[in-house]
Copies of this chain bind each other. A is one copy, B any other.
Amino acid sequence: MAVSLQDIASIAGVSVKTVSGALHGGSARMAEETRDRIRKIAEELGYVTNFAARSMRQGWMPLIAIIGDELLTSPFATEIIRGLDNSARKADLSVFFTTIGGDHDIAKVYDDVSRFRPRAIGYAAMYHKEVVLPLEVADRIGVMINCRDAAGRVTSLVPDEEAAGHTIASHLVDAGRRSIAFINLPGLLAGELRERGFRAALDDAGLEPVAVLPAVKRATYADRARSLVAQHVGDLMAGPHRPDAILCGNDRVAMEVYAALRKVGAGIPDDVAVAGFDNQVDIVTRLDPPLTTMALPHRAMGRMAAEILQAAEPPEGGLKLLPFQLVERASV
């Protein structure tokens, strides 16, 4: 069916190896005339390389496989993939994305993708968490994206939540805010770390948080749990320690804070500055005024992951913290 090197060879009247050299072997010594002639024939016949055949010799397909713990549900996943793809493409590698789906058996999914003989395999989580990889899999995973290896052996790329918390809190302080509250998502690793950075920054400035409150009753990433935001904001604004800034565990919480502040008639940022985390595009520019927030380094994580997966020698395992970026908008 498909055109092979052999087909081209017989038409050109040369051997298969010559055709191979002409089309793929960049440095192979060969008469330019021959090379051009072969290229032209290949073009006319519509030849496309057969990666499967090539991989028989090479040992692997020009693929980087990513095992995701969920399907690409979040808009962040898009950014990770984009970073991966951009970087991999430069090395003529494709990114093959799989998900552990319903069965949640990493080892099985690992075997499944191995059948394609990818050059390297990475593991990606949809939100920042700790992951325990089965032993037989752990030392074959080249990199973990947006999650940290509980055992600490696999190189893990995660956002530097704590630094982000510090940066945004300092930004609020620098903007002259002195009474800062934090409405956080409880039970999430990201939230805990952000809060730690927040507290440290206030401490550095010689301030105390006005309040640190949970946004929901029970934490889930999808946070379907009933929101407490309106109630908390109402209490804060009516109480004795009225904040002049509210830092939110993420942009979604900020969205609810906006609604709650509007309800009590407080102006943003004149009465209360609001800031968030994530830079979730759907939300951030849609809010009025647009939200100042810390942008997650998802694309950078993808890019760096691809680089690590392409490397001949995997780097020493360990945690790599990638910096958020402060995005200043009108809410502060």
Name A residues whose Cβ lies closer than 8 Å to a Cβ of B.
1-2, 46, 48-53, 55-56, 59, 61, 71-73, 75, 77-78, 81-82, 85, 94, 96-99, 101, 111-112, 114-117, 136, 224, 282, 285
Contacts and interface: CB of A to CB of B under 8 A. Distances in A.
Contacts of A1: 59
A105 B224 CA distance: 41
Contacts of A85: 71, 99, 101
B56 A52 contact: yes
Contact of A97 (B48, B52, B97, B136): B97
Given A56-B56, A94-B98, A51 B116 contact: yes
A206 to B, nearest CB: 39
A48 B118 CA distance: 13
Given A71-B81, A71-B82, A51 B117 contact: yes
Given A48-B115, A52-B55, 10 more contacts: A2-B59, A46-B136, A49-B115, A51-B52, A61-B116, A71-B82, A72-B72, A72-B77, A85-B99, A224-B285
Contacts of A99: 85
Contacts of A59: 1-2
In the A-B complex, the 8 residue pairs with the smallest Cβ-Cβ separation, listed nearest first, are A52-B52, A52-B55, A48-B114, A51-B115, A49-B115, A72-B72, A51-B116, A48-B115
B61 A72 contact: no
Copies of this polypeptide in the complex:
2
A239 to B, nearest CB: 25
Contacts of A50: 115, 117
A59 B50 CA distance: 10
A136 B81 CA distance: 29
Contacts of A75: 73, 75
Contacts of A71: 78, 81-82, 85
Contacts of A53: 52, 56
A61 B2 CA distance: 13
A112 B51 CA distance: 10
B52 A117 contact: yes
Contacts of A117: 2, 50-52
A53 to B, nearest CB: 6
A282 B282 CA distance: 10
A70 to B, nearest CB: 10
Given A72-B81, A78-B71, A78-B72, A52 B94 contact: no
Contacts of A96: 94, 96
Nearest to A282: B282
A62 to B, nearest CB: 8
Contacts of A51: 52, 115-117
A311 B282 CA distance: 38
A111 to B, nearest CB: 5
A273 to B, nearest CB: 22
Contacts of A78: 71-73
A130 B293 CA distance: 37
Contacts of A56: 52-53, 56
